[in-house]
Structure 1
Amino acid sequence: MKSAHRIRLKSATLAIGVAAVCTAVTAQQPDISDLQKNIDIFSGVLAEALELEQATGLFGISLGGIDSTYLYGQGVVLEVQTPLASRRNTLGLAALTSTLQNMQARSNPFAALARSENATTDAPPTLPLNATNEAGDFYRTMMDRIANVDYSLRFNTAIQQASDYARSLRSLDNLDDAAYEAMRRDLDVMREAMQIEFARLREIENELRQSASLTAERIAQADLQSALDNVLAKLEPLQDQAVAKAEELRERSRVAELEYAARWQQEVAEFELNLYAAMCDYGSTLHELPADEYVSIILAGLGEDAGENHRADKVHVFNKRDLLQCQSGDIDSQTLQQRSAHYSY
């Protein structure tokens, strides 16, 4: 009987102990509902302090915002979207354009093949038997000069490169809309001038073909030769002008990329300073968060460049105790920055 009584007593004691432990654990757990409300309020305050709500893109779509997550026993994770990430994408696109243009500017192994094919396709017909030797020599000389005209490919490539670099300059805030439109008009004028001269070149070629079976008179030869000389004299400067413009805009784009990247880095540094100041001022308002947990801030797309087109995020991790000390004035935002962990991932 005594043994049975002791067993019942131990069972009751164990039940009381388990209940006490459960009660203690429950008491330590934060109220998730209250914590979520607290996090939402803090996210709004932080977004306002960092001026995220003022950033809008195309059609007024917001470029800034904060998404929150709570990890039990670890703390709050806030993912911050900023316009700086979008601006970094702009820089990446400009760099890609420059890379593609540099590749295009290199020797094209298919260009010679294309010229060879065109020369074969446009080969002059066999002169008729009644053509004089003088007419035949003139015809062959003129057609050879036309066949050796190699301005179209290089000119069109230069104009396309100039257009692409102009767009990059506008995206990098180096050209305003008015300057960009003026540059486009200049390129269109060059393109139209080249088209006019090439059309005239085709006319001369047709006239030569039509007169191939006739005995060419000296006056007709002189007129055709003068017309061809005039066209060629205009084509070469147009090509040189297009190539020079493409080279000018390429160099401007290169410098603009460097300046844009430097401004972007400076803006990221200033944004992070504002983040530390805001966390120092308002971090303690997360009063529902346990004192031994952390606040992790993920700055989407603002991490160190990881290469291979991968844009890392920048992570800042704050201890809540440090946030309380900063708010009370025991430490400043610079010390808070030194105590926090920050890395790219």
Structure 2
Amino acid sequence: MKKSSICLLLASMFAASVQATSQLDELSKELEIMSSIMQTSYKQNRDEKGISVRSLQSTYLAGQGVVFRIQTSGGSNRFRFSFNGLDHVIPVPPIEPQIEVRGNAVVIENEGHVIEYESIGDELEQVRELFIGSNDKLSELRDQQRELNWEAREVERRNRDNEFEKRHAEGERRAELEKETQELQKELAKIKERQREVEKYAQQLEEEQREANSKRVAAAQEQSKKFLAEFEHNSADILCKYGSGLKSLPAGEHITLVLDNYAGGKGRSKNQDRIYVFDYKDVQSCVSGKLDPQKLLGKANTYEF
């Protein structure tokens, strides 16, 4: 190969490299602006008492497109159902969730899934207060049950001692033991009655907790559905209004939104991301008015992984 041809080839490769670097620099600036627009829009449309977008990070994958990873206040990376759990939207599970309250947060845990809600609506707050109150009462009842069990064992021990002594006692002493035995039996009957009352009350409180748990799950599910619908609407609207700002994104690539750890694992041991993949050409069509936001959303490849 002639020296002049080699020089031309090297010059062409260098020019292509410089052009690619310049395009990436421009895309980086555009991506930063787009991220700021999205964060502002999500913040303006958030529900103060419900799930909201906590943070947004973006990156570019060559040959694939830009990716926005979004974390929410009601899902993110702390899934563990301890009353709490949803498939964002997890259906009401067959095995009732456990309950855990951490300050102002509610944690839902069921079948290995855990979701922590840092801010909760009025209905969830009422359920939370009900749970705390009934849980304190159940703790007191457990203490009472332990004390009554101890008293019952003590009375039964004294009764056994009396029965043993009666086998060898005679006359006046035997009569005294008979009287003591009757009194012990009356005392034991009272203790047993108190145990039944405590047990009945405990069962009532547990039933109240089960009902509260059902309300809690239903309210959390409703919050999740509401957030998801608003998030999808807002996201499609943002892309239709401002998607043209990513003009340095190569043709044929994509814009991907990832709701981090938002979806339940559906029987798996971990939670999943909810992912929306938009073809950039569809976003451009929406920007130009050929598609509306709802149709753009319908054309997205949406899945959980």
* Correspondent of 2:155 among 204, 218, 221: 204
Q: Does the CA-based 8 Å contact 1:88-1:264 persist in structure 2?
A: no
Q: Does the CA-based 8 Å contact 1:55-1:63 persist in structure 2?
A: no
Distance 1:17 1:192 in 2: 86
- Residue 315 of structure 1 deviates from its aligned partner by 1.9
Residue in structure 1 matched with residue 282 of structure 2 by the alignment: 322
Matched ranges for 1:1-345 at <5 A:
12=4, 15-16=7-8, 19-20=11-12, 23=15, 26-27=18-19, 30-51=22-43, 64-86=54-76, 89=79, 91=81, 94=84, 171=107, 173=124, 175-176=126-127, 178-211=129-162, 212-214=164-166, 215=169, 216-217=174-175, 218-303=178-263, 305-345=265-305
- Residue 49 of structure 1 deviates from its aligned partner by 1.1
**Larger relative strand fraction:** 2
Distance 1:87 1:264, change over 3 A: farther
Distance 1:297 1:312, change over 3 A: same
Larger Rg: 1
Q: Does the CA-based 8 Å contact 1:30-1:289 persist in structure 2?
A: no
Residue by residue over 1:180-202, the C-alpha shift from the partner in whole angstroms, topping out at 9 and shown as x without a partner, is 34323422442343234223223
TM, length-normalised to structure 2: 0.71
Distance 1:90 1:279 in 2: 33
User: The residue matched to 1:199 in structure 2 has which SS?
Assistant: helix
**Larger relative helix fraction:** 1
Distance 2:55 2:43 in 1: 10
Aligned length: 271
- Residue 213 of structure 1 deviates from its aligned partner by 2.5
Unaligned runs of 5+ in 1: 1-6, 57-61, 103-160
Distance 1:51 1:21, change over 3 A: same
Q: Does the CA-based 8 Å contact 1:304-1:311 persist in structure 2?
A: yes
Unaligned runs of 5+ in 2: 87-91, 109-123
One-letter amino acid of the counterpart of residue 257, structure 1? V
TM, length-normalised to structure 1: 0.64
Residue by residue over 1:149-203, the C-alpha shift from the partner in whole angstroms, topping out at 9 and shown as x without a partner, is xxxxxxxxxxxx9xx5585996462645543343234224423432342232233
Distance 1:38 1:20, change over 3 A: same
- Residue 52 of structure 1 deviates from its aligned partner by 9.0
Distance 1:272 1:87 in 2: 20
Q: Does the CA-based 8 Å contact 2:240-2:293 persist in structure 1?
A: yes
* Identical residues among aligned pairs (%): 23
